[in-house]
Structure 1
Amino acid sequence: MGGKRFGVLLCAEDSEYVKKKYGGYFGVFMRMLAEEGETWDMYKVASGEFPKDDELGLYDGFVITGSCTDAYGNDKWVHDLLTLLNKLYIMNKKTLGICFGHQILARALGGKVSRSPTGWDIGVRTITMSPSLPVALSSLQLPSKLSIIQCHRDEVQELPPKAEVIGWSDKTGIEMFRYGNHIMGIQGHPEYSTDILLQIIDRLIQRDFIMEAIALEAREKAELWKLDMEAWKILCISFLKGHYDRNEINGK
Structure 2
Amino acid sequence: MPRLLIVKTGDSFADVARDHGDFETLFRRALAAAPDGTRVAVLDAPRADTLPALDDIDGLLITGSHAMVSHAEPWSEALKPWLVEARARDIAMLGVCYGHQLMAAAFGGESDFHPAGRESGTREVSLTEAGRQDSLLGGLPARFRAHLSHAQTVLTAPPGARVLAANAHDPHQALRHGPRQWSVQFHPEFTPAVMRAYLGHQRQALQDQGETPERLVAEVTATPEATGLLLRFAELVSAATRLERA
TM range (shorter): 0.7 to 0.9
C-alpha distance 181-222 of structure 1, shift in aligned 2 (>3 A): farther
Task: With a CA cutoff of 8 Å and minimum separation of 6, indicate the structure with the bigger relative contact order.
Answer: 2
Residue 35 of structure 2 is aligned to residue 40 of structure 1: no
Number of aligned residue pairs = 236
CA distance in 1, matches of 2:118, 2:215: 16
Match of 1:62 in 2: 60
CA distance in 2, matches of 1:161, 1:139: 22
Residue 169 of structure 2 is aligned to residue 171 of structure 1: yes
Q: How far apart are 1:84 and its partner, in Å?
A: 1.5
Query: Which residue, 219, 229, 232 being the options, matches 1:238?
Result: 232
Match of 2:135 in 1: 136
CA distance in 2, matches of 1:226, 1:200: 14
- Give yes or no for contact 1:11–1:45 (8 Å, CA) kept in 2: yes
Match of 1:248 in 2: none
Instruction: Give the aligned residue type for 2:42.
Output: M
Q: How far apart are 1:237 and its partner, in Å?
A: 2.6
- Give yes or no for contact 2:61–2:95 (8 Å, CA) kept in 1: yes
Q: How far apart are 1:157 and its partner, in Å?
A: 1.0
C-alpha distance 176-138 of structure 1, shift in aligned 2 (>3 A): closer
Specify the SS of the correspondent of 1:58.
coil
- Give yes or no for contact 1:137–1:238 (8 Å, CA) kept in 2: yes
C-alpha distance 204-215 of structure 1, shift in aligned 2 (>3 A): farther
Residue 181 of structure 2 is aligned to residue 183 of structure 1: yes
Match of 1:99 in 2: 97
Tell which deviates more after alignment, 194-203 or 150-159. Answer: 194-203
Within-5 A mapping of 1:1-252: 3-34=1-32, 35=34, 36-53=36-53, 56-133=54-131, 135-137=134-136, 140=139, 142-205=140-203, 210-212=205-207, 217-228=212-223, 230-242=224-236
C-alpha distance 50-28 of structure 1, shift in aligned 2 (>3 A): farther
Q: How far apart are 1:214 and its partner, in Å?
A: 6.0
Instruction: Give the aligned residue type for 2:135.
Output: A
Q: How far apart are 1:17 and its partner, in Å?
A: 2.6
Instruction: Give the aligned residue type for 1:42.
Output: V
Specify the SS of the correspondent of 1:26.
helix
How far does the alpha carbon of each residue in 1:13-50 deviate from its partner, in whole angstroms, 9 at most, with x for none? 14333333344221100111242422111111122355
How far does the alpha carbon of each residue in 1:124-176 deviate from its partner, in whole angstroms, 9 at most, with x for none? 21110123237533763x21001111111111111111101010001111111
Tell which deviates more after alignment, 213-222 or 8-17. Answer: 213-222
RMSD of equivalent CA atoms: 2.5
CA distance in 2, matches of 1:103, 1:52: 21
Match of 2:242 in 1: none
CA distance in 2, matches of 1:203, 1:115: 19
Specify the SS of the correspondent of 2:187.
coil
C-alpha distance 49-96 of structure 1, shift in aligned 2 (>3 A): farther
Query: Which segments of 5 or more consecutive residues in structure 2 lack a partner in the other structure?
Result: 240-246
C-alpha distance 144-211 of structure 1, shift in aligned 2 (>3 A): closer
TM-score by length of 2: 0.86
CA distance in 1, matches of 2:97, 2:16: 18
Instruction: Give the aligned residue type for 2:45.
Output: V
TM-score by length of 1: 0.84
Q: Share of identical aligned residues, percent?
A: 21
Q: How far apart are 1:232 and its partner, in Å?
A: 1.9
Instruction: Give the aligned residue type for 1:184.
Output: W
Query: Which segments of 5 or more consecutive residues in structure 1 lack a partner in the other structure?
Result: 246-252
